Amino acid sequence: MTKFSDLKLDPKVLSAIADAGYETPTPIQAGAIPHALDGKDVLGIAQTGTGKTASFTLPMITLLSKGRARARMPRSLVLCPTRELAAQVAENFDTYAKNTKLTKALLIGGVSFSEQDKLIDRGVDVLIATPGRLLDHFERGKLLLTGVQIMVVDEADRMLDMGFIPDIERIFQLTPFTRQTLFFSATMAPEIERITNTFLHAPARIEVARQATTSETITQKLVQITPPRRDQAAKAKRELLRALIQAEGESCTNAIIFCNRKSDVDIVAKSLKTHGFNAAPIHGDLEQSQRMKTLDAFREGGLQLLVASDVAARGLDIPAVSHVFNYDLPSHAEDYVHRIGRTGRAGRKGAAFSIATPSDDKYLNAIEALVKMEIPRAETPEGFSLSEAAHREPRQYDDAKGGRAKSRSPRGGRGRGERREAPVVEEKALEVVAEAVAEAPKREERREERRDERREERREERRDDRRERGGRGRDGGGPTVVGMGDHVPDFLLRSFRTTRPSIATATDNDSESDAPAEDSSES
């Protein structure tokens, strides 16, 4: 078995790794690091959780240890699709480079340009950025990419999902042809293949086993319930979720609870809070600062239950999660593997509970076909029974004072002025909303929602970036963006001499219709 000491890494890096407690390189590290150290391009096909961040960070630190950065000319560049992932890479860099004098800057939206400018002005060895923010700095003339010796693209398939591929192509073109490229993607969609064929030179291809198998350190359980009424399925699931968490007692130190829809993420988080649990939601509609705050609280142990959508949780490395709960079974079987892989990491034990109702049968079949095993069935926790309310028709509830109904039943339910009976106002209001969103959980509808979520995430990134860019040549930092604002789409910058097919490609990529790309990346 390869040891870290076999890998010709800088001794300073080796001692940092030892301090981090790593004993042996993971397969992606053992495969990628020697090629990267030889100066070759690397195409790594690996997911988060495989140790891929260190597989590019460790050789980068080793290679960059000789030489010095010049003002505004970073020596290396790491591109990440989201701010959270970029921040995570920056943290990893700090860990592994702690014994060196290498400098880094993190360029992400939501942080003031001037702070970032100062860092770049001083000269940095490693620049970690999201594509939009990086191009903004470049367009403001604050950054030169001609000194980039090593360029890393992390989570390329997610870049594709988020519509960043035109930006990535542009950034490739702004860096020297002689650069070394380390390119990572969990899947090789045709569009990703095209990019690697265009911008990588004879790359060493390292593919680590796709996570179609689940880790043996994770105890999986499937709890099936048949809600007495279809229109009360959401309520029944929330009751069961609470019972499952409670039954796990102190062994559940922290957990991620996955829902398929953003609306359910909010509802479940709110419901748990109402019942006295320490829970908070995370999904693409929340403000970036809120998301960061929630994640930090979860990482630091101040928050026990993180209720999440797949998109928000994808790629996040939260090392010690004792439990994962699937409030919904995912409609994409691979998401099951990703979700439960949030626990039982780095050899730790973990538990994954999934709630299923009869309408989930087709999802369950697909998951079990993928993981090639039957998920062990478990009984509902001892003494668990659904509340009486879960057996009744959802009703319209008045406010606590017995006044008019606060919200109208989406199915026309009851008339106004009716009295509420249940004690928890919020929980009842949640039920009415839950009933609305639980309507027709058809596969196509769910897919559409996931697409919307990704589009929205993308828009949010751009919106934030534009907001901050307002100061440039305008009235000083306001959110005003007229027309395209300062963002000139990549295809407009291309020469008219470009051949027709490539114009078509660029335009397609810039458009909002990312649905086919998303499908292919997830297939």
Which residues of this chain interact with ligand AMP, rule CB under 6 A? 22, 25-26, 29, 48-54, 317, 319, 346
CA–CA distance, 90 with 92 (Å, rounded to integer): 5
Helix or strand (DSSP H, E) at 205? strand 204-207
For tokens 């950025």, what's the residue? 129
CA distance between the termini of the chain: 33
Query: Of 37, 450, 499, which is closest to residue 284 (Cα–Cα)?
Result: 450
Smallest distance from ligand AMP to CB 204, Å:
19
E strands, 339-404, in order: 350-356, 377-378
Query: Of 395, 403, 402, which is closest to residue 429 (Cα–Cα)?
Result: 395
CA–CA distance, 145 with 165 (Å, rounded to integer): 18
Tokens describing residue 228: 């007495």
CA–CA distance, 443 with 155 (Å, rounded to integer): 26
Smallest distance from ligand AMP to CB 319, Å:
5
Smallest distance from ligand AMP to CB 324, Å:
16
Query: Of 457, 420, 209, which is closest to residue 311 (Cα–Cα)?
Result: 457
Smallest distance from ligand AMP to CB 9, Å:
12
Q: What share of the chain is helix, strand, coil (3-state, %, to 5)?
A: 45, 15, 40
Smallest distance from ligand AMP to CB 61, Å:
14
| Residue 2 vs 274, nearer CB to ligand AMP | 2
Query: Of 130, 127, 152, 131, which is closest to residue 55 (Cα–Cα)?
Result: 152
| Residue 209 vs 346, nearer CB to ligand AMP | 346
| Residue 47 vs 260, nearer CB to ligand AMP | 47
| Residue 21 vs 276, nearer CB to ligand AMP | 21
Smallest distance from ligand AMP to CB 19, Å:
12
| Residue 29 vs 103, nearer CB to ligand AMP | 29
Question: Exposure pattern of 77-116 as b/e (b: 16+ CB <10 Å)?
Answer: bbbbbbbbbbbbbbebbeebbebbebbbbbbbbbbebeeb
DSSP-derived letter for residue 44 is E
User: Phi and psi (nearest 5°) for 255?
Assistant: -150, 150
298, amino acid identity: F
| Residue 317 vs 431, nearer CB to ligand AMP | 317
User: Phi and psi (nearest 5°) for 150?
Assistant: -130, 130
68, amino acid identity: R
| Residue 29 vs 149, nearer CB to ligand AMP | 29
| Residue 320 vs 484, nearer CB to ligand AMP | 320
Smallest distance from ligand AMP to CB 337, Å:
14
| Residue 227 vs 315, nearer CB to ligand AMP | 315
Smallest distance from ligand AMP to CB 258, Å:
18
Smallest distance from ligand AMP to CB 317, Å:
4
Helix or strand (DSSP H, E) at 56? helix 52-64
